[in-house]
Structures are given as C-alpha cells and as structure tokens.
Amino acid sequence: MASDLRWQLRFQNYRNSLRDFKIALQQEHYSVLERAGLIQLFEVSFELAWKTLKDVLTYSGYIAITQRVVIRTAFEYELIDDADVWLEALDSRNKYSHIYDQKQAEISTQKIKEHFATLLLNFEKKLEEWSNES
C-alpha cells in the first residue's frame, strides 16, 4: 500500500514539474536566465521521471537501484519506449549539472527541445496508460 501511494505521489510531482517545463518549451528564443531555467526544469523533470520509474518498478515487485538499471528494466517492461535516448538524457543531465558555459547551454537547450522534451512528455502519457491498466 505504501509503495502504491509513493509512486502516485512521485508521479504527481513529476506532472507538476512538467507543467512548468511545457511552458518553458514554448519559447523560441531565450535570455541567459530563461535558458538556465529551461535546463533546470529539464533536470528536475528528468530526476522525478527516473525516480517515478523506480517507484513503479518497486510497486510492481522489481528491484532496480541505479539509474541505468531502472531505465533498462523500465524499457524491458515497456514503461518507456527508448532506453538509449533515456540513457543519453541521463548522461546529458549529469553533464549539465557539472559543466556550464554559454555555448554548452545553447547546445543543451537545442537537445532538450529536440530530443528530451518528447521523451519526458511521452513518459507522462505512457505512465497514465499504465496506471489506468493497473
């Protein structure tokens, strides 16, 4: 029962982060602060996404501890569509947290908008479907 509530609460937090992330994605041009905000919203949303995956797997009876194992296991059980893109997003999220320069921020913004946003938005839909089936 507690793990059922845990993944649902985590999923609600994830959806809350996506609300702001979606707003940030709508812009075409970003100031330095807006770009930093988009990157931060991606980092928060991705963090909540993988933790939600971990909680769903735990609820379903699977033990997955590390982020990479969570992602691979979630792919195996069809909770996500593309493990390679998730792993790329994980690596990028880790890089964004440790390195910052203007050029990297511009590249990061483009990558987030063109690749990782779809990943996070599709995960929301996939988990909604999964929760309705459970």
Residues 19-34 have pLDDT tens digits of 999 999 999 999 999 9
Residues 60-96 have pLDDT tens digits of 999 888 999 999 999 998 999 999 999 999 998 888 7
> What's the pLDDT at 103?
84
User: Longest C-alpha distance within the chain, in Å?
Assistant: 47
Query: 14: domain range?
Result: 2-133
* Structural domain count, the chain: 1
Distance CA 125, CA 77 (A): 16
Burial class of 88 by CB neighbour count within 10 A (0 to 12, 13 to 18, 19+): middle
CATH label of the domain that carries residue 125: 1.20.120.330
Taking CA atoms, 75 is separated from 33, 35, 54, 101, 113, in Å, by 34, 30, 12, 33, 22
